[in-house]
Structure 1
Amino acid sequence: MTERLTAEGISYAVANRLVIRDVSVTLAQGELLALIGPNGAGKSTLLRLLTGYIPPARGRCLLADKPLAQWSAQTLARYRAVMLQQTQVGFDWPVETVIGMGRMPWTPQPEPSVIHQVMQLTECLSLAGRRYAALSGGEQQRVQLARALAQLWREGSPRGWLFLDEPTSALDLFHQQHLLRLLKSLTRQGHLHVCVVLHDLNLAALWADRILLLHEGRIVSEGTPIDVLQRETLSRWYGADVQVGPHPCAPTPHVFLTP
Protein backbone atom coordinates (compact mmCIF):
# COMPACT_ATOMS: atom_id res chain seq x y z
CA MET A 1 0.00 0.00 0.00
CA THR A 2 2.79 2.45 0.88
CA GLU A 3 5.43 1.79 -1.73
CA ARG A 4 5.94 5.38 -2.91
CA LEU A 5 6.45 8.77 -1.32
CA THR A 6 6.18 11.67 -3.75
CA ALA A 7 6.78 15.42 -3.63
CA GLU A 8 5.03 17.40 -6.34
CA GLY A 9 6.28 20.95 -6.98
CA ILE A 10 6.89 21.77 -3.33
CA SER A 11 8.15 25.16 -2.17
CA TYR A 12 8.81 26.54 1.29
CA ALA A 13 9.63 30.04 2.53
CA VAL A 14 11.23 31.38 5.70
CA ALA A 15 10.85 35.10 6.44
CA ASN A 16 9.54 35.66 2.89
CA ARG A 17 12.61 33.96 1.39
CA LEU A 18 12.12 30.79 -0.62
CA VAL A 19 14.42 28.10 0.72
CA ILE A 20 12.85 25.27 -1.32
CA ARG A 21 11.80 26.09 -4.87
CA ASP A 22 9.45 23.89 -6.92
CA VAL A 23 11.04 20.54 -6.02
CA SER A 24 9.56 17.30 -7.33
CA VAL A 25 10.95 13.90 -6.38
CA THR A 26 9.70 10.34 -6.00
CA LEU A 27 11.08 7.96 -3.39
CA ALA A 28 10.65 4.21 -3.83
CA GLN A 29 11.51 1.47 -1.39
CA GLY A 30 14.76 -0.39 -1.92
CA GLU A 31 16.90 2.70 -2.55
CA LEU A 32 19.45 4.82 -0.71
CA LEU A 33 19.09 8.46 -1.78
CA ALA A 34 21.65 11.09 -0.72
CA LEU A 35 20.89 14.80 -0.52
CA ILE A 36 24.03 16.88 -1.05
CA GLY A 37 24.78 20.55 -1.63
CA PRO A 38 26.61 23.52 -0.11
CA ASN A 39 25.63 25.07 3.22
CA GLY A 40 22.22 26.74 2.97
CA ALA A 41 21.18 24.74 -0.10
CA GLY A 42 17.98 23.55 1.61
CA LYS A 43 18.90 19.91 2.31
CA SER A 44 17.58 19.75 5.88
CA THR A 45 14.47 21.74 4.99
CA LEU A 46 13.66 19.41 2.10
CA LEU A 47 14.11 16.44 4.41
CA ARG A 48 11.62 17.94 6.89
CA LEU A 49 9.12 18.58 4.11
CA LEU A 50 9.39 15.01 2.84
CA THR A 51 8.78 13.67 6.33
CA GLY A 52 5.69 15.82 6.93
CA TYR A 53 7.31 17.69 9.84
CA ILE A 54 6.57 20.97 8.08
CA PRO A 55 3.93 21.61 5.37
CA PRO A 56 4.94 23.07 2.00
CA ALA A 57 3.78 26.56 1.08
CA ARG A 58 3.02 25.27 -2.41
CA GLY A 59 2.78 21.79 -3.88
CA ARG A 60 2.17 18.63 -1.90
CA CYS A 61 3.84 15.53 -0.44
CA LEU A 62 2.00 12.25 -0.75
CA LEU A 63 2.42 8.78 0.69
CA ALA A 64 0.47 6.12 -1.22
CA ASP A 65 -1.26 8.95 -3.14
CA LYS A 66 -2.55 10.46 0.12
CA PRO A 67 -1.25 13.85 1.37
CA LEU A 68 0.97 13.50 4.44
CA ALA A 69 -1.25 15.96 6.32
CA GLN A 70 -4.17 13.54 6.01
CA TRP A 71 -2.33 10.68 7.73
CA SER A 72 -2.83 10.35 11.48
CA ALA A 73 0.38 10.95 13.42
CA GLN A 74 0.45 7.40 14.78
CA THR A 75 -0.14 5.72 11.42
CA LEU A 76 2.44 7.89 9.65
CA ALA A 77 4.94 7.11 12.40
CA ARG A 78 4.65 3.41 11.56
CA TYR A 79 5.84 4.04 8.01
CA ARG A 80 8.23 6.99 8.40
CA ALA A 81 11.05 7.51 10.90
CA VAL A 82 13.43 10.44 11.22
CA MET A 83 16.88 10.84 12.73
CA LEU A 84 17.81 14.50 13.08
CA GLN A 85 21.30 15.97 13.51
CA GLN A 86 20.75 16.49 17.22
CA THR A 87 18.01 14.91 19.30
CA GLN A 88 17.47 16.18 22.84
CA VAL A 89 16.19 13.66 25.37
CA GLY A 90 14.53 15.37 28.32
CA PHE A 91 15.32 12.63 30.81
CA ASP A 92 18.51 10.79 31.72
CA TRP A 93 17.22 7.43 30.52
CA PRO A 94 19.07 4.19 29.91
CA VAL A 95 20.01 3.42 26.30
CA GLU A 96 17.42 0.63 26.04
CA THR A 97 14.64 3.02 27.09
CA VAL A 98 15.61 5.58 24.46
CA ILE A 99 15.66 2.91 21.75
CA GLY A 100 12.35 1.55 23.03
CA MET A 101 10.75 4.96 22.42
CA GLY A 102 10.76 4.00 18.76
CA ARG A 103 8.15 1.31 19.46
CA MET A 104 5.57 3.80 20.78
CA PRO A 105 3.51 3.84 17.52
CA TRP A 106 3.10 0.07 17.88
CA THR A 107 2.91 -0.91 21.52
CA PRO A 108 2.95 0.69 25.01
CA GLN A 109 5.60 -1.83 26.12
CA PRO A 110 8.62 -2.27 23.81
CA GLU A 111 9.35 -5.88 22.93
CA PRO A 112 12.74 -6.96 24.37
CA SER A 113 13.43 -9.14 21.32
CA VAL A 114 13.03 -6.19 18.92
CA ILE A 115 15.22 -3.95 21.07
CA HIS A 116 17.94 -6.61 21.19
CA GLN A 117 17.85 -7.18 17.41
CA VAL A 118 18.08 -3.47 16.67
CA MET A 119 20.89 -2.92 19.17
CA GLN A 120 22.81 -5.80 17.63
CA LEU A 121 22.36 -4.38 14.11
CA THR A 122 23.59 -0.93 15.12
CA GLU A 123 26.57 -1.98 17.27
CA CYS A 124 24.79 -0.72 20.41
CA LEU A 125 24.95 -3.86 22.56
CA SER A 126 28.13 -2.57 24.18
CA LEU A 127 26.14 0.48 25.33
CA ALA A 128 23.49 -1.57 27.16
CA GLY A 129 22.76 -0.29 30.66
CA ARG A 130 24.47 3.05 30.16
CA ARG A 131 22.74 6.42 30.58
CA TYR A 132 22.06 8.25 27.33
CA ALA A 133 23.27 11.63 28.63
CA ALA A 134 26.68 10.15 29.51
CA LEU A 135 27.35 8.93 25.96
CA SER A 136 29.61 10.65 23.46
CA GLY A 137 28.06 12.39 20.46
CA GLY A 138 28.87 9.46 18.19
CA GLU A 139 27.41 6.94 20.64
CA GLN A 140 24.23 9.01 20.89
CA GLN A 141 23.95 8.99 17.09
CA ARG A 142 24.15 5.20 17.08
CA VAL A 143 21.41 5.00 19.71
CA GLN A 144 19.20 7.36 17.71
CA LEU A 145 19.67 5.23 14.60
CA ALA A 146 18.61 2.19 16.62
CA ARG A 147 15.54 4.08 17.85
CA ALA A 148 14.57 5.02 14.28
CA LEU A 149 15.00 1.45 13.02
CA ALA A 150 12.96 0.13 15.96
CA GLN A 151 10.16 2.50 14.94
CA LEU A 152 9.96 0.89 11.48
CA TRP A 153 10.44 -2.71 12.65
CA ARG A 154 7.87 -5.11 11.21
CA GLU A 155 8.10 -8.80 10.38
CA GLY A 156 11.73 -9.07 11.43
CA SER A 157 13.18 -6.02 9.64
CA PRO A 158 12.69 -2.25 9.21
CA ARG A 159 10.13 -1.38 6.53
CA GLY A 160 9.11 2.03 5.19
CA TRP A 161 10.95 5.35 4.92
CA LEU A 162 13.95 6.31 7.00
CA PHE A 163 15.17 9.92 6.87
CA LEU A 164 18.54 10.88 8.36
CA ASP A 165 20.13 14.33 8.64
CA GLU A 166 23.94 14.07 8.67
CA PRO A 167 24.01 10.80 10.64
CA THR A 168 27.79 10.36 10.22
CA SER A 169 28.82 13.81 11.49
CA ALA A 170 30.00 12.60 14.93
CA LEU A 171 31.06 9.07 13.98
CA ASP A 172 34.59 7.73 13.65
CA LEU A 173 35.69 5.99 10.45
CA PHE A 174 34.65 2.52 11.58
CA HIS A 175 31.15 3.59 12.58
CA GLN A 176 30.68 5.72 9.44
CA GLN A 177 31.48 2.65 7.38
CA HIS A 178 29.32 0.36 9.51
CA LEU A 179 26.31 2.71 9.42
CA LEU A 180 26.32 3.16 5.66
CA ARG A 181 27.03 -0.50 4.96
CA LEU A 182 24.09 -1.36 7.21
CA LEU A 183 21.72 1.10 5.53
CA LYS A 184 22.78 -0.13 2.10
CA SER A 185 22.19 -3.76 3.04
CA LEU A 186 18.77 -2.96 4.53
CA THR A 187 17.63 -1.15 1.39
CA ARG A 188 18.74 -4.08 -0.75
CA GLN A 189 16.15 -6.22 1.01
CA GLY A 190 13.58 -4.09 -0.82
CA HIS A 191 11.37 -2.98 2.08
CA LEU A 192 13.19 0.18 3.21
CA HIS A 193 13.94 3.52 1.58
CA VAL A 194 16.70 5.66 3.06
CA CYS A 195 16.97 9.39 2.39
CA VAL A 196 20.10 10.82 3.97
CA VAL A 197 21.69 14.27 4.07
CA LEU A 198 25.46 13.94 3.65
CA HIS A 199 28.22 16.53 3.49
CA ASP A 200 30.92 13.97 2.71
CA LEU A 201 30.67 13.49 -1.06
CA ASN A 202 32.87 10.41 -0.99
CA LEU A 203 30.52 8.65 1.41
CA ALA A 204 27.65 9.51 -0.93
CA ALA A 205 29.65 8.20 -3.89
CA LEU A 206 30.32 4.85 -2.23
CA TRP A 207 26.87 4.05 -0.88
CA ALA A 208 24.12 6.10 -2.55
CA ASP A 209 22.05 4.60 -5.36
CA ARG A 210 20.91 8.09 -6.36
CA ILE A 211 22.06 11.61 -5.48
CA LEU A 212 20.16 14.90 -5.49
CA LEU A 213 22.38 17.99 -5.59
CA LEU A 214 20.63 21.08 -4.26
CA HIS A 215 21.60 24.71 -4.64
CA GLU A 216 19.53 27.61 -3.27
CA GLY A 217 16.53 25.35 -2.81
CA ARG A 218 16.49 23.79 -6.29
CA ILE A 219 17.57 20.41 -7.60
CA VAL A 220 20.40 21.27 -9.98
CA SER A 221 21.64 17.73 -10.65
CA GLU A 222 20.18 14.27 -10.10
CA GLY A 223 21.27 10.74 -10.90
CA THR A 224 23.81 8.10 -10.00
CA PRO A 225 27.05 9.11 -8.24
CA ILE A 226 28.84 8.94 -11.61
CA ASP A 227 26.19 11.24 -13.14
CA VAL A 228 26.28 13.88 -10.40
CA LEU A 229 29.82 13.88 -9.03
CA GLN A 230 31.45 15.49 -12.05
CA ARG A 231 34.25 18.02 -11.59
CA GLU A 232 32.50 20.75 -13.58
CA THR A 233 29.23 20.22 -11.72
CA LEU A 234 30.81 20.31 -8.27
CA SER A 235 33.02 23.30 -9.06
CA ARG A 236 30.03 25.23 -10.36
CA TRP A 237 27.62 24.61 -7.49
CA TYR A 238 30.04 24.37 -4.55
CA GLY A 239 32.44 27.04 -5.79
CA ALA A 240 35.39 24.85 -4.76
CA ASP A 241 38.44 23.73 -6.72
CA VAL A 242 38.15 19.95 -6.96
CA GLN A 243 39.37 17.02 -8.96
CA VAL A 244 37.36 13.85 -9.52
CA GLY A 245 38.96 10.49 -10.21
CA PRO A 246 38.13 6.80 -9.92
CA HIS A 247 37.96 5.17 -6.52
CA PRO A 248 40.80 2.60 -6.23
CA CYS A 249 38.53 -0.17 -4.92
CA ALA A 250 35.02 0.56 -6.26
CA PRO A 251 33.40 1.61 -9.56
CA THR A 252 32.56 5.05 -8.17
CA PRO A 253 34.04 8.55 -8.40
CA HIS A 254 36.27 9.97 -5.69
CA VAL A 255 36.39 13.72 -5.00
CA PHE A 256 39.67 15.43 -4.12
CA LEU A 257 40.13 19.02 -2.99
CA THR A 258 42.82 20.88 -4.94
CA PRO A 259 45.58 22.23 -2.64
Structure 2
Amino acid sequence: MPSSLRASGVSYSSALRDISLTLAPGELVALIGPNGAGKSTLLRLLTGYLSPDSGQCTLNGIALDAWTPQALSRQRAVMRQQSLPGFDWPVEAAIAMGRAPWPSSDDRDAVEQIMALTGCSQLRGRNFSALSGGEQQRVQLARALAQLWRDGKPRGWLFLDEPTSALDLYHQQHLLRLLKQLTADGELHVCAVLHDLNLAALWADRLVLLHQGMLVAEGRASQVLQADLLRRYYGADVHIGTHPHSPTPQVFLSP
Protein backbone atom coordinates (compact mmCIF):
# COMPACT_ATOMS: atom_id res chain seq x y z
CA MET A 1 0.00 0.00 0.00
CA PRO A 2 1.36 3.46 -0.84
CA SER A 3 2.34 5.42 2.26
CA SER A 4 -0.25 8.03 3.20
CA LEU A 5 -1.74 9.88 6.14
CA ARG A 6 -5.43 10.56 5.72
CA ALA A 7 -8.20 12.44 7.49
CA SER A 8 -11.61 11.17 6.40
CA GLY A 9 -14.60 13.33 7.32
CA VAL A 10 -13.16 14.37 10.68
CA SER A 11 -14.95 16.77 13.01
CA TYR A 12 -13.89 17.97 16.43
CA SER A 13 -16.07 19.91 18.86
CA SER A 14 -16.98 23.22 17.22
CA ALA A 15 -13.45 23.73 15.86
CA LEU A 16 -13.53 21.48 12.76
CA ARG A 17 -16.31 20.18 10.55
CA ASP A 18 -16.12 17.28 8.10
CA ILE A 19 -12.47 17.69 7.00
CA SER A 20 -11.04 15.23 4.46
CA LEU A 21 -7.39 15.50 3.51
CA THR A 22 -4.69 13.15 2.22
CA LEU A 23 -0.97 13.73 2.80
CA ALA A 24 1.74 11.85 0.91
CA PRO A 25 5.54 11.70 1.24
CA GLY A 26 7.57 14.00 -0.98
CA GLU A 27 5.31 16.99 -0.38
CA LEU A 28 5.34 20.20 1.66
CA VAL A 29 1.80 21.23 2.58
CA ALA A 30 0.95 24.57 4.21
CA LEU A 31 -2.17 24.93 6.36
CA ILE A 32 -3.34 28.54 6.05
CA GLY A 33 -6.32 30.55 7.22
CA PRO A 34 -7.28 33.38 9.57
CA ASN A 35 -6.97 33.17 13.34
CA GLY A 36 -9.38 30.62 14.79
CA ALA A 37 -9.81 28.76 11.50
CA GLY A 38 -8.88 25.41 13.06
CA LYS A 39 -5.33 24.99 11.72
CA SER A 40 -3.67 23.93 14.98
CA THR A 41 -6.61 21.69 15.88
CA LEU A 42 -6.33 19.91 12.53
CA LEU A 43 -2.60 19.49 13.12
CA ARG A 44 -3.30 17.84 16.49
CA LEU A 45 -5.81 15.47 14.88
CA LEU A 46 -3.40 14.53 12.07
CA THR A 47 -0.67 13.75 14.60
CA GLY A 48 -2.83 11.69 16.96
CA TYR A 49 -2.74 14.10 19.91
CA LEU A 50 -6.51 14.55 19.59
CA SER A 51 -9.14 12.02 18.55
CA PRO A 52 -11.94 13.22 16.27
CA ASP A 53 -15.54 13.23 17.45
CA SER A 54 -16.48 11.75 14.09
CA GLY A 55 -14.54 10.50 11.09
CA GLN A 56 -11.09 8.94 11.27
CA CYS A 57 -7.40 9.73 10.84
CA THR A 58 -5.29 6.88 9.46
CA LEU A 59 -1.60 6.30 8.76
CA ASN A 60 -0.92 3.69 6.09
CA GLY A 61 -4.49 2.50 6.45
CA ILE A 62 -4.33 2.03 10.24
CA ALA A 63 -6.22 4.34 12.61
CA LEU A 64 -3.85 6.59 14.52
CA ASP A 65 -5.27 5.47 17.87
CA ALA A 66 -4.43 1.84 16.95
CA TRP A 67 -0.68 2.59 16.73
CA THR A 68 1.41 2.08 19.84
CA PRO A 69 3.04 5.30 21.08
CA GLN A 70 6.54 4.08 20.24
CA ALA A 71 5.59 2.88 16.76
CA LEU A 72 3.82 6.16 15.99
CA SER A 73 6.73 8.21 17.32
CA ARG A 74 8.99 6.48 14.77
CA GLN A 75 6.66 7.55 11.95
CA ARG A 76 5.76 11.15 12.80
CA ALA A 77 7.32 14.03 14.70
CA VAL A 78 5.79 17.31 15.82
CA MET A 79 7.24 20.75 16.46
CA ARG A 80 4.58 22.61 18.41
CA GLN A 81 4.11 26.35 18.63
CA GLN A 82 6.03 27.73 21.63
CA SER A 83 6.93 24.25 22.81
CA LEU A 84 9.10 24.49 25.93
CA PRO A 85 10.83 21.35 27.26
CA GLY A 86 10.89 20.65 30.97
CA PHE A 87 14.64 20.80 31.22
CA ASP A 88 17.55 23.15 30.70
CA TRP A 89 20.12 20.98 28.97
CA PRO A 90 22.84 21.86 26.48
CA VAL A 91 21.67 22.14 22.89
CA GLU A 92 23.20 18.87 21.71
CA ALA A 93 21.52 16.96 24.56
CA ALA A 94 18.16 18.57 23.77
CA ILE A 95 18.46 17.51 20.12
CA ALA A 96 19.52 14.00 21.11
CA MET A 97 16.23 13.62 23.01
CA GLY A 98 14.62 13.17 19.60
CA ARG A 99 16.40 9.83 19.31
CA ALA A 100 14.41 8.36 22.23
CA PRO A 101 12.19 6.16 19.99
CA TRP A 102 15.35 4.58 18.52
CA PRO A 103 17.37 3.02 21.38
CA SER A 104 20.95 2.83 20.19
CA SER A 105 24.40 2.57 21.66
CA ASP A 106 25.63 5.61 19.75
CA ASP A 107 23.51 8.31 18.09
CA ARG A 108 26.27 10.89 18.04
CA ASP A 109 26.75 10.75 14.26
CA ALA A 110 23.06 11.37 13.63
CA VAL A 111 22.97 14.30 16.05
CA GLU A 112 26.09 15.82 14.47
CA GLN A 113 24.56 15.55 10.98
CA ILE A 114 21.30 17.13 12.11
CA MET A 115 23.02 19.98 13.96
CA ALA A 116 25.05 20.83 10.85
CA LEU A 117 21.96 20.59 8.63
CA THR A 118 19.85 22.92 10.79
CA GLY A 119 22.55 25.47 11.64
CA CYS A 120 22.67 24.42 15.30
CA SER A 121 26.38 23.54 15.42
CA GLN A 122 27.24 27.09 16.47
CA LEU A 123 24.91 26.72 19.47
CA ARG A 124 26.82 23.73 20.87
CA GLY A 125 27.34 23.83 24.63
CA ARG A 126 24.80 26.56 25.30
CA ASN A 127 21.83 25.80 27.54
CA PHE A 128 18.40 25.83 25.94
CA SER A 129 17.03 28.56 28.26
CA ALA A 130 19.85 30.93 27.27
CA LEU A 131 18.86 30.86 23.60
CA SER A 132 16.75 33.44 21.80
CA GLY A 133 13.26 32.47 20.64
CA GLY A 134 14.51 31.91 17.10
CA GLU A 135 17.43 29.79 18.28
CA GLN A 136 15.07 27.70 20.41
CA GLN A 137 12.88 27.09 17.35
CA ARG A 138 15.90 25.86 15.39
CA VAL A 139 16.79 23.44 18.19
CA GLN A 140 13.20 22.19 18.36
CA LEU A 141 13.24 21.60 14.60
CA ALA A 142 16.50 19.66 14.95
CA ARG A 143 14.99 17.57 17.74
CA ALA A 144 11.96 16.75 15.56
CA LEU A 145 14.19 15.76 12.63
CA ALA A 146 16.27 13.58 14.96
CA GLN A 147 13.11 11.66 15.83
CA LEU A 148 12.63 10.69 12.16
CA TRP A 149 16.32 10.20 11.27
CA ARG A 150 17.13 6.86 9.66
CA ASP A 151 20.10 5.96 7.49
CA GLY A 152 21.34 9.50 7.07
CA LYS A 153 18.08 11.38 6.47
CA PRO A 154 14.60 11.97 7.92
CA ARG A 155 11.83 9.64 6.79
CA GLY A 156 8.16 9.88 7.69
CA TRP A 157 5.83 12.72 8.66
CA LEU A 158 6.95 16.05 10.09
CA PHE A 159 4.35 18.47 11.48
CA LEU A 160 5.23 22.06 12.33
CA ASP A 161 3.03 24.70 13.98
CA GLU A 162 4.16 28.18 12.88
CA PRO A 163 7.85 27.20 12.54
CA THR A 164 8.95 30.61 11.17
CA SER A 165 7.19 32.83 13.74
CA ALA A 166 10.32 33.75 15.73
CA LEU A 167 12.88 33.56 12.92
CA ASP A 168 14.61 36.41 11.13
CA LEU A 169 14.60 36.61 7.33
CA TYR A 170 17.75 34.54 6.86
CA HIS A 171 16.57 31.71 9.09
CA GLN A 172 13.06 31.73 7.60
CA GLN A 173 14.63 31.24 4.19
CA HIS A 174 17.08 28.62 5.46
CA LEU A 175 14.37 26.61 7.22
CA LEU A 176 11.94 26.55 4.29
CA ARG A 177 14.66 25.80 1.76
CA LEU A 178 15.78 22.95 3.98
CA LEU A 179 12.27 21.51 4.34
CA LYS A 180 11.76 21.73 0.58
CA GLN A 181 15.08 19.95 0.01
CA LEU A 182 14.30 17.21 2.53
CA THR A 183 10.96 16.38 0.88
CA ALA A 184 12.48 16.22 -2.60
CA ASP A 185 13.52 12.55 -2.47
CA GLY A 186 10.00 11.42 -1.59
CA GLU A 187 10.58 9.90 1.87
CA LEU A 188 9.57 12.84 4.08
CA HIS A 189 6.27 14.71 4.21
CA VAL A 190 6.09 18.14 5.85
CA CYS A 191 2.81 19.72 6.97
CA ALA A 192 3.22 23.20 8.44
CA VAL A 193 0.87 25.86 9.76
CA LEU A 194 2.02 29.12 8.17
CA HIS A 195 0.57 32.60 8.64
CA ASP A 196 2.83 34.24 6.06
CA LEU A 197 1.04 33.59 2.79
CA ASN A 198 4.00 34.71 0.69
CA LEU A 199 6.32 32.21 2.36
CA ALA A 200 3.69 29.51 1.86
CA ALA A 201 3.39 30.42 -1.81
CA LEU A 202 7.14 30.30 -2.40
CA TRP A 203 7.84 26.92 -0.82
CA ALA A 204 4.70 24.83 -0.32
CA ASP A 205 3.65 22.30 -2.96
CA ARG A 206 0.04 22.58 -1.81
CA LEU A 207 -1.95 25.07 0.24
CA VAL A 208 -4.92 24.06 2.38
CA LEU A 209 -7.14 27.01 3.32
CA LEU A 210 -9.33 26.66 6.42
CA HIS A 211 -12.09 29.00 7.55
CA GLN A 212 -14.33 28.56 10.60
CA GLY A 213 -13.41 24.91 10.87
CA MET A 214 -14.03 24.04 7.24
CA LEU A 215 -11.67 23.28 4.36
CA VAL A 216 -12.68 25.92 1.81
CA ALA A 217 -9.87 25.74 -0.79
CA GLU A 218 -6.97 23.43 -1.63
CA GLY A 219 -4.36 23.31 -4.38
CA ARG A 220 -1.32 25.07 -5.75
CA ALA A 221 -0.59 28.64 -4.69
CA SER A 222 -1.93 29.97 -7.98
CA GLN A 223 -5.26 28.21 -7.31
CA VAL A 224 -5.69 29.24 -3.68
CA LEU A 225 -4.10 32.70 -3.44
CA GLN A 226 -6.78 34.51 -5.38
CA ALA A 227 -7.94 37.96 -4.34
CA ASP A 228 -11.64 37.09 -4.10
CA LEU A 229 -10.98 34.03 -1.93
CA LEU A 230 -8.64 35.90 0.43
CA ARG A 231 -10.98 38.86 0.75
CA ARG A 232 -13.87 36.51 1.53
CA TYR A 233 -12.15 34.33 4.09
CA TYR A 234 -9.60 36.71 5.65
CA GLY A 235 -11.77 39.83 5.43
CA ALA A 236 -8.76 41.85 4.27
CA ASP A 237 -8.44 44.13 1.26
CA VAL A 238 -5.65 42.51 -0.78
CA HIS A 239 -4.09 42.54 -4.20
CA ILE A 240 -2.28 39.63 -5.86
CA GLY A 241 0.98 40.19 -7.71
CA THR A 242 3.78 37.96 -8.95
CA HIS A 243 7.19 37.30 -7.42
CA PRO A 244 9.88 39.11 -9.46
CA HIS A 245 11.96 35.95 -9.94
CA SER A 246 9.30 33.24 -10.29
CA PRO A 247 5.68 32.87 -11.43
CA THR A 248 4.63 32.46 -7.78
CA PRO A 249 1.72 34.67 -6.65
CA GLN A 250 2.40 37.11 -3.82
CA VAL A 251 -0.14 38.83 -1.58
CA PHE A 252 -0.10 42.59 -0.92
CA LEU A 253 -2.28 44.44 1.56
CA SER A 254 -3.98 47.55 0.24
CA PRO A 255 -2.90 50.75 2.03
Asked if the contact 1:2–1:63 (Cα under 8 Å) also holds between the matched residues in 2, the reply is no
Deviation string 1:172-211 (CA, Å, 9 cap, x unpaired) is: 0000000000000000111000000000000000000000
Aligned residue for 1:148?
A: 144
The 5-angstrom pairing of residues 1-259 of structure 1 reads 3-13=3-13, 18-107=14-103, 111-259=107-255
Deviation string 1:134-154 (CA, Å, 9 cap, x unpaired) is: 000000000000000000001
Pairwise CA distance, 1:86: 1.1
* Letter aligned with residue 148 of structure 1: A
- Structure 2 length-normalised TM: 0.98
Pairwise CA distance, 1:88: 1.5
**Structure 2: segments with no counterpart, 5+ residues:** none
Asked if the contact 1:7–1:23 (Cα under 8 Å) also holds between the matched residues in 2, the reply is yes
Number of corresponding residues: 255
Report the aligned-residue RMSD.
1.0
Residues 110, 224 of structure 1: alpha-carbon distance in 2 compared, 3 angstrom cutoff: farther
Residues 2, 83 of structure 1: alpha-carbon distance in 2 compared, 3 angstrom cutoff: farther
Residues 51, 246 of structure 1: alpha-carbon distance in 2 compared, 3 angstrom cutoff: same
Pairwise CA distance, 1:12: 0.3
- Structure 1 length-normalised TM: 0.97
> Percent identity, aligned pairs only?
65
**Structure 1: segments with no counterpart, 5+ residues:** none
